[in-house]
Amino acid sequence: AQSVAQPEDQVNVAEGNPLTVKCTYSVSGNPYLFWYVQYPNRGLQFLLKYITGDNLVKGSYGFEAEFNKSQTSFHLKKPSALVSDSALYFCAVRDSIDQTGANNLFFGTGTRLTVIP
């Protein structure tokens, strides 16, 4: 079974400071990992993904994420937070050995990031 945990419902960070949004996962095979961002009253927007290769993945809007296989984590990071980064962030996983052949993603419960001016 696949699952994702986002241990923090809320993360507050001062503008200009680095930010981290945490995510851990569980899959049977190798993970395909994703981060999405949701602004108020909007759909989810893709930020970045890890499939294979370099453990540090760079994505949109200056975000990056680090894949750590031993800790089964995929934390989202940004060196310098902007007020406009305030949004709801979702981590998602798909198992590489998903027998359905579909692209079903399993999502965490989301972390609300607030960047304080």
Partner 1 sequence: NAGVTQTPKFQVLKTGQSMTLQCAQDMNHEYMSWYRQDPGMGLRLIHYSVGAGITDQGEVPNGYNVSRSTTEDFPLRLLSAAPSQTSVYFCASSWLAGSGELFFGEGSRLTVL
Residues interacting with partner 1, by CB under 8 A?
A: 4, 9, 32, 34, 36, 41-46, 49, 51, 90, 94, 100-110
Nearer to partner 1, 17 or 60 (CB): 60
User: Least CB distance from residue 61 to partner 1, whole Å?
Assistant: 16
The burial class, CB within 10 Å (0-12 / 13-18 / 19+), for 23 is: buried
> Which residue's CB is nearer to partner 1, number 70 or number 99?
99
**Residue-level length of the chain:** 117
Q: Do the Cβ atoms of 26 and 108 come closer than 8 Å?
A: no
Shorter beta-carbon distance to partner 1: residue 12 or 109: 109
Nearest alpha-carbon partner for 9 in 82, 93, 109, 91: 109
Closest CA to 36 of 114, 109, 98, 115: 109
CB nearer to partner 1: give 43 or 117: 43
Three-state SS at 70: coil
